């Protein structure tokens, strides 16, 4: 009888030990499974909320469309012509986001071959222009849509370097160059497609000051007033850091 009681006691202890070992093994297995699935809560990475705030630098490519009014002073003769061409350049800026509003400042510059021509009032001559480069410094203000899409308006001051000419195959030929300045305004849409990369589409209008070219530059008999306007459309990419 004592032998039977001893045997039952030993078996119960063995059973309890086996159950404890099984529970411990299951716990270790669950921990290992959690580790393989991405680690514990303590080790889980923190996902920082997205923000437009920060500096950025980028590049753009697009097209320019120009219109120039010519006025031959001391006469009633006028002419005007339009032009077009490609442009390529870069931009740098800073954004600051508060809630769904983004404010910023941007400076950009571009090379362009936007040009055009037409017959001068004296039909023996061709009146033309060519825009060499453009630049601007602008403020930006926009609204965030869906967290990563920004619709914005922009305005500021701009510059454009333009060569003017009045030419004829047999000569004489006249030329004049001027770096104009004036106000710039437009708008665009920009989408952040990665943590620090965005793409944008933008329209800008350059409304530039007019200038009076002296006698002998675009005419041998009178001064000439030139009044240019330029419109640009472009796509670009920005790297935020």
Q: Give tens-digit pLDDT for 45-84.
A: 545 668 999 999 999 999 999 999 999 998 888 999 999 9
CATH classification for the domain delimited by 54-240, as one of 3.60.110.10, 2.40.160.20, 3.40.50.2300, 1.10.1740.10:
2.40.160.20
Percent of the chain past pLDDT 90, that is, above it, reads 71
pLDDT mean over 106-134: 95
State the Cα–Cα distance between residues 67 and 227, nearest whole angstrom: 8
State the Cα–Cα distance between residues 237 and 159, nearest whole angstrom: 22
How high is the pLDDT of residue 37? 47
State the Cα–Cα distance between residues 178 and 159, nearest whole angstrom: 10
State the Cα–Cα distance between residues 3 and 26, nearest whole angstrom: 35
The model's pLDDT over 187-240, given as tens digits with 9 standing for 90+, comes to 999 999 998 999 999 999 999 999 999 999 998 889 999 999 999 999 999 999
How high is the pLDDT of residue 4? 37
**What b/e string do you get for 58-81 counting C-beta neighbours within 10 Å, with b at 16 or more?**
bbbebebbbebebbbeeeeeebeb
Model-level pTM greater than 0.75? yes
């Amino acid at each position: 009888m004592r032998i039977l009681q001893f045997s039952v006691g030993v078996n119960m202890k063995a059973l309890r030990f086996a159950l404890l070992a099984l529970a411990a093994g299951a716990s270790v297995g669950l921990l290992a499974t959690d580790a393989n699935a991405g680690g514990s809560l303590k080790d889980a990475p923190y996902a920082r909320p997205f923000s437009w705030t920060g500096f950025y630098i980028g590049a753009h490519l697009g097209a320019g469309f120009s219109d120039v009014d010519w006025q031959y002073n001391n006469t009633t003769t006028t002419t005007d012509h339009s032009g077009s061409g490609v442009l390529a350049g870069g931009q740098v800026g800073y954004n600051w986001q508060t809630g769904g509003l983004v404010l910023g400042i941007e400076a950009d510059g571009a090379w362009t071959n936007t040009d055009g021509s037409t017959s001068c009032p004296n039909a023996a001559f061709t009146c033309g222009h060519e825009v060499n480069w453009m630049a601007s410094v602008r403020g930006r203000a926009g609204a965030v849509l869906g967290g990563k899409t920004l619709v914005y308006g922009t305005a500021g001051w701009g510059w454009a370097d333009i060569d003017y000419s009045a030419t004829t195959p047999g000569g004489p030929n006249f030329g004049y160059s001027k770096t104009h300045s004036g106000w710039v305004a437009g708008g665009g849409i920009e989408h952040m497609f990665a943590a620090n990369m965005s793409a944008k589409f933008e329209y800008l209008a350059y409304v530039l000051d007019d200038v009076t070219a002296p006698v002998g530059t675009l005419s041998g008999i009178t001064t000439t007033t030139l009044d240019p306007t330029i419109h640009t459309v472009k796509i670009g990419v920005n790297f935020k850091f």
